[in-house]
Structure 1
Amino acid sequence: MAAPPPPVAAAPAPGAPLDTTGYDSFLVALRAEARRSGISEPTVRAALGNIRPLPRVLELDRKQPEGVLSWEQYRDRIVSQKRIDDGRRAYAENRALLQQIESRYGVSARVIVAIWGMETNYGGNTGGFNVVEALATLAWEGRRAAFFRKELLAALRIIDEGNISADKMTGSWAGAMGHPQFMPTSFERLAVDFDGDGHRNIWESKADALASIGNYLARNGWQTGQGWAMEARPPGGFDIERVDTDTKRSMAEWSRLGWRQADGGPLPATGTEATLAVPTRSSGQVFLGLPNLRVIRRYNSPMNYGLAVGLLADRVA
């Protein structure tokens, strides 16, 4: 019979030291589970030998949002002129590589660059937490133990396969890793060895990191040569609070319903299907979302994220 799960770690009061009661027994059980699942003893020792719970990880996990930005505030902060300029520079510096990736996967290179910019500021902020230690902290803490334990075991497999050493596997407090900020299970499914060195290294190889973003989008249904959305002007009487974002209509149908391009020009009279894409907390800006917008949102689901990626990609180009 399997051992009972460890108790959920109590949340410390603000400023109080972290109560680590039960962590050592949690680690013993975790090491045993890793060995049973096929993780080698050297990896178990290297990755799980001397780790301790990280109070900062728990603090960030429990932190409540301090405020909610409107779409316009978020858009202007995220799609800033500095991020646009940095994106153009990153695109130019990696042009040949990006063209190879676009050719291989059929995904717009400028969208890959935009996601890179959104996730880690073009590799400038990939996170400084030891991923195994952060995931172990969250798995021990217990509120989402099953999710983080699954991610932790995936992280151990990634190390065991030789993709990265335990000490170099760094990422966010929640375990998102490398330039593309893949969770370990996403890495296992979608990371690629684009530079051909035998390792999928999204931490140190731009080729692997950017191609992995391309592969992620391609595997989720990216439509080559298609756009992502079009800003649109609604007809009179449109109520942004009661919008239907599920119904698909052709551009020609949207046009017949009175929709126009944002500048007042006619929509393209095509059969291309689109749905209404309304930013969260928007004061009026509305888009007609194409299938590729849904693909971008498979990478990170909030509507505002998907729209910002598209806008940044357009401006980088």
Structure 2
Amino acid sequence: MNKMITRLAAVLFSAGALATQAQAASFQQCLGDLRPKAAAKGVSGATFDRYTQGLEPDMSVLELLNSQPEFSTPIWDYLAALVDQQRVDEGRQMLKLHADTLAKVSRSYGVDPATVVAVWGVESDYGKTFGKRPLLTSLGTLSCYGRRQAFFQGEFFATLKLLQSGDIQAQELKGSWAGAFGHTQFMPSTYQRIAVDGDGDGRRDLVASIPDALASTANYLKRSGWRTGQPWGYEVKLPAGFDTSAAGRKNKRPLKDWVARGVVKVDGSAITPSDTPAGILLPAGAKGPAFIVMRNFDAIYSYNAAESYALAIAHLSDRLRGGDEIVTPWPTDDPGLSRIERKQLQELLLARGYDIGEADGLIGTNTRKAIVEEQKRLGLQPYDGRAGKKILKAMQAQ
């Protein structure tokens, strides 16, 4: 029996090794096919060879193509983690620390400092989390496997051109699985088109230069239709019997029309009627918070085409200006956790002996599995592994 198991293991190991070799060969073949395409986009053969030498695929990025948190996470969880008190406090510190740079950026591009800093906060936690994946590895893999290969090939070539021009250095090239990188997580092609030299050193370096990153972010919003001095929108209260079929970010009509329908600010005060196009955003349906959104919300949305993402930046910008939290409760009996609360939950799980790694506030597979076990032990259905207020309070009570 032991001999049979040993032989089976050897066969499986051999099969795995052959599969890996075949994958490596197909990747090298793909890179060879990409070389002339890169040349047609202005990437020299020497540049291509230099940065693809020894490059190996990372197939784990394919699993992330269909699991973006903006589309898979409940809005109350998404906002709780992105717009918590810690991020607000740190953002206000950044506004003070970089006041001169932000004033210059605002004069040049017409975008207010709070919005620029809010993008920075959501995208990289003010420069603390750029992403850990080697950019060329991720983009090279996505250029050869999975869906949207043509799109990722364009980003791969754009990265090589940035290296070729000297704007960025290879050792700095780490970012998200999809290729976004730097302080405000530009995609390489966006970097090529829109990045600007904010510190006057002759380079557009969104990794090492905060002024470059802040100026480039403002330039992006300006080119996306930002209107100086106008709000992105604000929370509102809908009248009883409001026809929700009229809602939607794209379904804009003059603000005076919404006023005529009985829409008021969330505190009950009247909205000044005007011809400004505005839509009603209901991110959690009719029973959740409602927002009037205008052109500047669309400019934020263009940065990453998800309404939850745009709302996170818009709301954080309000908080950085001294605004309040969202007033209307989310339609859930299990609200989301801030990053500090997520760490507290993980510390409780670690104290109970669960092997989940460090308490970093990031809810991964091991943390979710541990939460499921605690939900079962405590009788908290459904046993879904969700990190919410219910499980945290139940564990704290014990």
Q: Specify the TM-score bucket, using the shorter chain as the normaliser.
A: 0.7 to 0.9
Q: Which residue of 2 aligns with 1:210?
A: 214
* Deviation for aligned residue 1:162: 0.9
Encode CA deviations 1:81-128: one digit per residue, 9 max, x unaligned: 111111111211111111110110001110111111111111111112
Encode CA deviations 1:157-193: one digit per residue, 9 max, x unaligned: 1111110122322211111121111111111111111
What's the secondary structure of 1:276's corresponding residue? strand
Change (3 A) 1:28 1:249: closer
Within the alignment, does 1:151 sit opposite 2:151 as a pair? Answer: no
Within the alignment, does 1:293 sit opposite 2:297 as a pair? Answer: yes
Quick check: which one's helix share is greater?
2
Q: Determine the C-alpha separation between the residues in 2 that align with 1:289 and 1:115.
A: 17
What percent identity do the matched residue pairs reach? Answer: 37
| Further displaced range: 105-114 or 159-168 | 159-168
1:102 alignment partner AA: S
Contact preservation (8 Å) 2:62, 2:146: no
Contact preservation (8 Å) 2:247, 2:282: no
Q: Following superposition of structure 1 onto structure 2, how do residues 148-227 of structure 1 map, counting pairs within 5 Å?
A: 148-227=152-231
What's the secondary structure of 2:166's corresponding residue? coil
Change (3 A) 1:307 1:38: closer
Q: Which residue of 2 aligns with 1:53?
A: 57
Change (3 A) 1:303 1:258: same
Q: Determine the C-alpha separation between the residues in 2 that align with 1:149 and 1:272.
A: 40
Q: Determine the C-alpha separation between the residues in 2 that align with 1:68 and 1:229.
A: 25
Encode CA deviations 1:287-307: one digit per residue, 9 max, x unaligned: 111111111101112112111
Q: Determine the C-alpha separation between the residues in 2 that align with 1:250 and 1:25.
A: 56
Q: Determine the C-alpha separation between the residues in 2 that align with 1:47 and 1:257.
A: 59
| Further displaced range: 256-265 or 162-171 | 162-171
Q: Which residue of 2 aligns with 1:248?
A: 252
Contact preservation (8 Å) 2:124, 2:183: yes
Encode CA deviations 1:22-67: one digit per residue, 9 max, x unaligned: 11211222234334543234422331111111133234336587x9
Q: Which residue of 2 aligns with 1:39?
A: 43
Contact preservation (8 Å) 1:46, 1:166: no
* Deviation for aligned residue 1:278: 1.8
Q: Determine the C-alpha separation between the residues in 2 that align with 1:37 and 1:231.
A: 46
| Further displaced range: 275-284 or 99-108 | 275-284
Q: Determine the C-alpha separation between the residues in 2 that align with 1:59 and 1:20.
A: 18
Q: Determine the C-alpha separation between the residues in 2 that align with 1:295 and 1:280.
A: 21
What's the TM-score, normalizing by structure 2?
0.70
What's the TM-score, normalizing by structure 1?
0.87
Unaligned stretches of 5+ residues in structure 1: 1-15
2:232 alignment partner AA: W
Q: Determine the C-alpha separation between the residues in 1 that align with 2:29 and 2:19.
A: 19
Q: Following superposition of structure 1 onto structure 2, how do residues 73-152 of structure 1 map, counting pairs within 5 Å?
A: 73-152=77-156
Q: Determine the C-alpha separation between the residues in 2 that align with 1:24 and 1:247.
A: 48
* Deviation for aligned residue 1:274: 1.4
What's the secondary structure of 1:112's corresponding residue? helix
- Could you say which structure has the larger radius of gyration? 2
| Further displaced range: 40-49 or 30-39 | 30-39
Structure 1 stretches of 4+ with a deviation exceeding 6 A read: none
What's the secondary structure of 1:274's corresponding residue? strand
Q: Determine the C-alpha separation between the residues in 1 that align with 2:141 and 2:180.
A: 14
Change (3 A) 1:314 1:31: same
User: Aligned pair count?
Assistant: 300
User: Which of 29, 33, 49 lines up with 2:33 in the alignment?
Assistant: 29
Unaligned stretches of 5+ residues in structure 2: 1-17, 322-398
* Deviation for aligned residue 1:17: 6.9
Change (3 A) 1:202 1:282: farther
